[in-house]
Amino acid sequence: MENKNALTAQEVADMLKIAKNTVYELVKRGELNSYKVGRKVRFTLKDLEDYISNSKSIKPSPSKYNEVHEENDRIVKSSFGSNNDNFVICGQDIMLDVLSNYIEFHPKGGTALRSYIGSYSSLTALYHGSVQVASAHLWDGETNQYNLPYVKRLLPGTRVVIIHLACRTQGFYVAKGNPKKIISWSDLKREDITMINREKGAGSRVLLDEHLRLLGIYGSNINGYKRESQSHITVASTVARGGADVAVGDEKMARQVEGIDFIPLQKERYELVVRKEDMNIPQTQVLLEILRSENFKMEFKGVSGYDIAEMGNIVAET
């Protein structure tokens, strides 16, 4: 009898934000473990976690700021070359995969490449000129704003346009039934609670750190704070199997991992950042047209975890 917790190739593709065929290619290359039930290929959460862990390319260190971003820049360039005609969209949400496909099929779109790095690294890659579109969901506790404060800090002297993509919900992953009654940021300092964290620069990690700063709580005083993972699925599955009591992540992943509940805490703004000088190139114009089209919006209407009411709106210019 098939394990009810088994993952299909499509589910793995959705979680990794890649095409289904790419999943099969990873299996063929021996990079992603799998097993068969009859003629069907299936995966476990552990298979997925191992693949993510083995695929880590950047390990940030506060003492090596420049090296980290030079390495990030190198990875993007090694993936796509140094061709100035490349149009690279940065970010980890599957919405961006759909967007890049729409651009490629548009008569005036051309090739749209993807780079799967997080918010902070996306903005620095945009600053270094490695990508043309960065995505971000970075909350600033001082201003209660998303993204614009970080754009000003990380892209000094660069004129940009911020385009709204969607609103999503961030919150806590907790064990089913929330046995430890974790409902607020201040609960994290309780001695009976252990967390698993996201890596520095991830939107969820920035959200956590900003709330801890406002509460006057040092991360070093929280059990498990220094234990990091680079994906929502890994922290969610760690909580599901009892390896931690809580983690911060988005609502969509909570619906894909069994054995956890989601405690909503904050609505976040997920937005695209483009250099102003690139606004008139064909791919950017096509991107805006697609985001404002009913066909593209229909792809996400009714999909849990997305609020697309403002999709395509220009929300700020610097």
Torsion angle, alpha carbons of 89, 129, 281, 161, to 10: 80
127 and 116 Cβ atoms separated by less than 8 Å? no
Tokens 């779109």 found at? 109
275 and 158 Cβ atoms separated by less than 8 Å? yes
Name residues whose C-beta falls within 8 Å of residue 141's C-beta, 6 or more positions apart in sequence: 210, 211, 213, 214
Give counts: helices (H), strands (E), the chain: 12, 13
The 8-class DSSP code of residue 80 comes to H
Segments in the chain below pLDDT 70: 1-5, 17, 55-85
41 and 9 Cβ atoms separated by less than 8 Å? yes
Cα 274 to Cα 279: distance, rounded to the nearest angstrom: 7
93 and 66 Cβ atoms separated by less than 8 Å? no
3-state secondary structure of 31: coil
Cα 33 to Cα 6: distance, rounded to the nearest angstrom: 13
* Residue 21, burial from CB neighbour count under 10 angstroms (0-12, 13-18, 19+): exposed
Give all domains of the chain, ordered by start, each with its CATH number. Answer: 9-54 (no CATH), 63-165+269-317 (3.40.190.10), 170-267 (3.40.190.10)
Cα 262 to Cα 252: distance, rounded to the nearest angstrom: 10
Q: What are the beta bridge partners of residue 162?
A: 273, 316
pLDDT of residue 316: 95
pLDDT of residue 79: 45
Cα 174 to Cα 116: distance, rounded to the nearest angstrom: 26
End-to-end CA distance of the chain: 58
3-state secondary structure of 42: strand
pLDDT of residue 62: 39
Supply φ then ψ for residue 214, to 5 degrees: -65, -30
39 and 57 Cβ atoms separated by less than 8 Å? no
252 and 94 Cβ atoms separated by less than 8 Å? no
